[in-house]
Amino acid sequence: MFSTGHLVPKLISLQDAARGVLQRSILLIETDYSHGITRMNVFFLQREGINLYHTLYASETSRNALRFYHPEERPGGVVIPIESLVSGLSIAGELRWYIRRYMQDVLFEFPGGNYCTLALSKQIYYDREIKPEEDWPFRRLYVIRHGHLVSAEPIVQGIPCGNTTAFSPEITRFVVWCTEEEYTGPRKSALYSNEGTEVEPEC
């Protein structure tokens, strides 16, 4: 009987490759911090027809949540500079209702300019072994036109996808690292769940 046992070591899945990347990059973020690069950003992407900056400041609840931060307008939404991943996750939690109602997505810009989804950022924080590197296999190409996200297509490894970086008032294009589930499945809202509706905050 023919045996495939000798082929097993060669059959490396994307998941196995990701595990290898994670193990080789344990101190990536901490290394950036040790060199004094501590600035991170949370990028809140607004829905079409929404001026997110004005919306957040029109509500007393969101103004209170942002009172210790300095939001900045950016094509596509609002950027909030933060000092650590945990503070970014905290502000995303405080703005949970606004994310569901007014935003298309939430991204974290790490030191060095790499973007991660909210789901992957949570994994990085809660699972200390997860530290993506440049060859992270699960990525999507985000395209923002005229102030809102128009596409977030998966990037297939080994297939050229043209210019993946552009920042201008007309078009913004950049690569976002995501979880394996986000890469293989349809893109959903950053806080998608089946937990039911939330109580609207008093504005």
For residue 37, pLDDT over 60 is answered with no
CA distance 137 to 72: 31
pLDDT tens per residue, range 2-12:
344 443 333 33
DSSP helix/strand/coil, 64: helix
Res. 186 pLDDT band, cuts 50 70 90 = confident
CA distance 131 to 121: 9
pLDDT tens per residue, range 131-183:
767 678 899 999 999 888 999 999 987 665 556 666 676 788 899 999 999 99
Q: How many CA atoms lie within 13 A of 163 on its CB side?
A: 6
pLDDT reported for residue 85: 92
Q: Mean pLDDT over all residues of the chain?
A: 76
pLDDT reported for residue 170: 76
Show the tokens assigned to 187. Answer: 């893109």
pLDDT reported for residue 185: 83
Among candidates 127, 133, 107, which has minimal Cα distance to 118?
107
Give the pLDDT mean for 176-198.
68
pLDDT tens per residue, range 54-78:
999 999 999 999 999 999 999 899 9
pLDDT reported for residue 43: 96
